Amino acid sequence: MPGFNQTGPAGQGPMTGRGIGICNPSHDRKTNDAIKNAIVGLVSVLIVGLAEMLWNKIKEKRLKHELK
């Protein structure tokens, strides 16, 4: 899309080029899926980490209570 007018090379219409630009809907979907998967992975790791920290705090309090 050299002229940014969605006509492709030489004004021949959309999707007449190599299909690597923003006119290719499958390209955008793959990028969005990759970003979504990365965010879901990071959030999952954070949740597991926080749950583990909470569990360790609970165990420490129980242990301290038993030792008294």
- Predicted confidence (pLDDT) per residue in 2-43, tens digit: 566 666 666 666 656 666 666 666 655 566 778 888 999 999
Number of independent structural domains in the chain:
1
Would you state the pLDDT for residue 64? 86
In a domain, 13, yes or no: no
In a domain, 62, yes or no: yes
Contact 17, 8 (CB under 8 A): yes
Contact 9, 16 (CB under 8 A): yes
Q: What are phi and psi of 8, to 5 degrees?
A: 75, -175
Contact 65, 58 (CB under 8 A): no
For residue 49, give its domain range.
Answer: 44-68
In a domain, 20, yes or no: no
Gap between the Cα atoms of 41 and 20, Å rounded: 27
In a domain, 6, yes or no: no
More reliable by pLDDT, 56 or 22: 56
